[in-house]
Structures are given as structure tokens and as C-alpha cells.
Structure 1
Amino acid sequence: MLVWQETRELKQDVYRLTYQFPKSEVYALTSQLRRAVISVGLNIAEGAGRGTVKDYIHFLYK
């Protein structure tokens, strides 16, 4: 779960950084970066809830 904890810190860093982006990027680059960083943590959590190591690894590579 150390990697999952690191993704939470990464999410905070991305949000902090994207607040500094120009307003014209709110619906483009900012949104895309935020969704991507959230997806990383969700994939790790979902994979960890699977029954097999093979399934877990599949979610890590998504």
C-alpha cells in the first residue's frame, strides 16, 4: 500500500501545480492531468481488491 500512499501525495502535488495554470487551461490540460492522477490511485485500489495476483498486475498496467 506504500505505492497507493505515494499516489495520494502525487495527486496533491498535481492539484497544487495545476492551480497555477492559466484559466484558459482549466478545461483542457488541467482537467486531463487531474483525471489521470486520480485514475492511478483508483487502479491500484481496484486491483488490490481482486482475487488473484494476475488481476492485480493487470490493473497496475492500465
Structure 2
Amino acid sequence: MGADEAYLISDRAFGGSDTWATSTIIAAAIEKVGKYDVIFCGRQAIDGDTAQVGQRLQNF
């Protein structure tokens, strides 16, 4: 299995976003990209020590 494409979602406006906002931003990007086979998420954030974004993405 190899990766053909990758996307970086970055903007100063996203700085300081909580996990809900981050999940919403990523979900919108996924919808815009369209077809995908797999989505990888990190284990947890180092700043807030949370592990919620991956789990929240399943709700979109």
C-alpha cells in the first residue's frame, strides 16, 4: 500500500482551535477532496493531551 496523494490543511485562522473545530475543518476538507481509501489520524495532541479528533471525524 502506498500513498498517491497527501493534503496539508493549514491556516493561521485555525490556530487555537479546539478539537470540535479541528474535526469540523478536517471533515470539510475530506468532503472537498472526495474519494478516499483511508484516513490516518494521530494518537493525541501534545498541547492539550487530547485524543479526540480521530474519534470525532467518524461522526461526519
TM value normalised by structure 2: 0.36
Q: As a proportion of its length, which structure holds more helix?
A: 1
- Which gives a bigger RCO, structure 1 or 2 (Cα 8 Å, sep 6+)? 2
Give me the TM-score of the superposition, normalised by structure 1: 0.36
